[in-house]
Structure 1
Amino acid sequence: MSRRGWFLFILVGFLWGIPYLFIKVAVDPDNGFTPAIVVCLRTAIGAAILIPIAIKQKQLMPALRGIKYVAPYALLEMIGPWILIGTAEQKISSGLAGLLIASVPIWATIFASLQGDKTVWHRTRLAGLVLGFIGLVAVVGIESIKGSSDALSIFMVLVAAVGYSYAVMMVQRALPGVSGIAINGVAMAISALFYLPFTIVQWPTHEISTAAINSIIGLGVLSTGAAFAAFFTLVSIIGVARGSLVTYLNTAFAVVLGVLILGEPLTIGMALGLPLVLIGSYFASRKPVTK
């Protein structure tokens, strides 16, 4: 990988690792926003960044013509998952949320098998699936039994991970030649419009902290707009398969930033489950080399 490729790889890992921290601060019930407002504002900012890029690339119209696929993609990738994660982070740590999202490659592998991808049953990928699930069981089980994390919130983040994994597969099959920047720009606009009525009704009457406002700006500009633009630039350099490995870097950033900046505890469940989920996800998503 070139130096530019490595730079973009690390940059995307950071930009997609830090949103869990931003969300945690932004949804503070005392001086922040509701999860619905957070989704609306971050997607509005993201759409404002990506749509002009798509227009410049002359890719907006193909995405709009595929709206019947982009709309369900928005539902499964943003409208559903982002409200679930935001709601969950009112009760669980940002690091735990990031760790649970690292299971996306595992769910994607399962969906691929249901679509007829027989390479899933290769012993390496199968071992990765088993190892990853052991890691998830360790995280969910220990966190729930000890009572250190809310079981329902953990489940909500796992549902978001399942949505992520299916959404990407679905839209790639339906719109293979359409720019990812255009698809996500339109999807963000749809998501922002969906949550606009909730934003108007739920706008807080209490004083909003500067930290919450800055988190919304960071979430929209960095983790939504810039991150997607950087990711698809990275994919154009190293391909989708290698680009997807950035998921593992995201998780490491999410856990470390939560501990260092927010002072979140590194629990036993996270310490045991993190390496198992990352290693398992890596091997589960790694297709065997054909000779």
Structure 2
Amino acid sequence: MTKVGWSRFALVGFLWGTPYLFIKVAVEEISPSTIIFFRVLIGAMVLLPLALSKKTIYIPRKYWHIVLIYTVAELIGPWYLITNAEQKISSGLAGLLVATVPIWAAIFASLNGDHTVWHKSRLFGLLIGFIGVVAVVGIESISGRQDIKSIGMVILAAIGYAYAVNMINRKIPTVPAIALNAWAMIITTIFYFPFAITHWPTKTPSVEAIASVAALGVFCTAIAFILFFKLLAEVGPPRASLITYLNTAVAVLLGVILLGEPLTLGIMLGLPLVLLGSYFASRKVRQ
């Protein structure tokens, strides 16, 4: 990886570790549907002109059902689940639970015929990762500090992320990522528009809440996606997926430092286990 590649890797890792912080701040005053609407609206306004300028906006008609499924599994569903969940759980815990994506991705890969998932090193990763998840969910729910239903919502969102990526890689790997995500954001914007209007804030949100929504759209969605596409082109999906580990560390640290969230026993035990498990579960091994 070049120096530019490493810089992009670090920047995207930081940017995708911050959404949990911004969501936590914004959701105190703005409804989840309104937050998501403006987030994807800003993202679409940046990605669509870029896709048009590169002449990569066209997606063949035969792939549109895949695009719709991807949109639901990658944006509409997970972003609603995570944003709602952060009303009752810490931003750091949300980021930690999303780090299980490589574990679920390995399981989906095995269901689709990738027998390398049953290699001893990847099985070790799955086992360690699940122990980490159980530790987090068990300790946090028993302690009463975190809402078990909200924890389940974030895990479901992580499963959605894993399914979406696995499906795209299998069914439409040749469709440009920028076109796919531009259309996905347009569809998500249209979907959430009526809900955003219905749940519009009854009073003007604070500057912090408005700035958090703007940051979600500009930095965590538009700019991060653009940088990630460039990183993908340089290093490929396997190495780019390692950003997951950096995201999680950033999410936990920002929650503790800026929001004063507790570094609980569940997070301290679960974080290294989940990251270690995700690493081994997502490793490429020989057939």
Q: How does 1:158-169 map to 2 (within 5 A)?
A: 158-169=155-166
TM-score by length of structure 1 reads: 0.97
| TM superposition shift of 1:62 | 2.1
Question: 1: CA distance between counterparts of 2:101 and 2:225?
Answer: 17
Paired residue type of 2:270: G
Q: How does 1:1-291 map to 2 (within 5 A)?
A: 1-28=1-28, 32-62=29-59, 66-289=63-286
| TM superposition shift of 1:56 | 1.3
- Percent of residue pairs bearing the same amino acid type: 58
SS of residue matched to 1:66: helix
Q: Is the contact between residue 43 and residue 192 of structure 1 (CA under 8 Å) also seen in structure 2?
A: yes
Question: 2: CA distance between counterparts of 1:173 and 1:43?
Answer: 25
Paired residue type of 1:92: I
Q: Is the contact between residue 9 and residue 243 of structure 1 (CA under 8 Å) also seen in structure 2?
A: yes
Question: 2: CA distance between counterparts of 1:221 and 1:65?
Answer: 31
User: Which shows bigger deviation, 134-143 or 172-181?
Assistant: 172-181
Deviations 1:222-272 (A, max 9, x none): 001111111110010011110011101000000001111111111000000
| TM superposition shift of 1:66 | 2.8
| TM superposition shift of 1:208 | 0.6
Q: Is the contact between residue 63 and residue 182 of structure 1 (CA under 8 Å) also seen in structure 2?
A: no
Displacement over 6 Å in runs of 4+: none
Size of the aligned set, in residue pairs, is 287
Q: Is the contact between residue 116 and residue 286 of structure 2 (CA under 8 Å) also seen in structure 1?
A: no
Question: 2: CA distance between counterparts of 1:211 and 1:117?
Answer: 46
Question: 2: CA distance between counterparts of 1:199 and 1:246?
Answer: 31
Q: Is the contact between residue 132 and residue 269 of structure 2 (CA under 8 Å) also seen in structure 1?
A: yes
Q: Is the contact between residue 20 and residue 251 of structure 2 (CA under 8 Å) also seen in structure 1?
A: yes
Paired residue type of 2:38: L
Q: Is the contact between residue 121 and residue 281 of structure 2 (CA under 8 Å) also seen in structure 1?
A: yes
- In structure 2, relative to structure 1, the CA distance for the partners of 1:203 and 1:283 (3 Å cut) is same
| TM superposition shift of 1:133 | 0.3
Deviations 1:175-216 (A, max 9, x none): 211111110111011001000001111101123110010001
Unaligned runs of 5+ in 2: none
Deviations 1:7-60 (A, max 9, x none): 0110110110000001001100xxx21001111110011011111111111110
- In structure 2, relative to structure 1, the CA distance for the partners of 1:9 and 1:227 (3 Å cut) is same
| TM superposition shift of 1:2 | 1.0
Paired residue type of 2:216: L
Question: 1: CA distance between counterparts of 2:34 and 2:286?
Answer: 45
Q: CA RMSD in A?
A: 1.1
Unaligned runs of 5+ in 1: none
Paired residue type of 1:241: P
User: Which shows bigger deviation, 225-234 or 269-278?
Assistant: 225-234
Question: 1: CA distance between counterparts of 2:280 and 2:138?
Answer: 23
Q: Is the contact between residue 63 and residue 183 of structure 1 (CA under 8 Å) also seen in structure 2?
A: no
Question: 1: CA distance between counterparts of 2:241 and 2:61?
Answer: 25
TM-score by length of structure 2 reads: 0.98
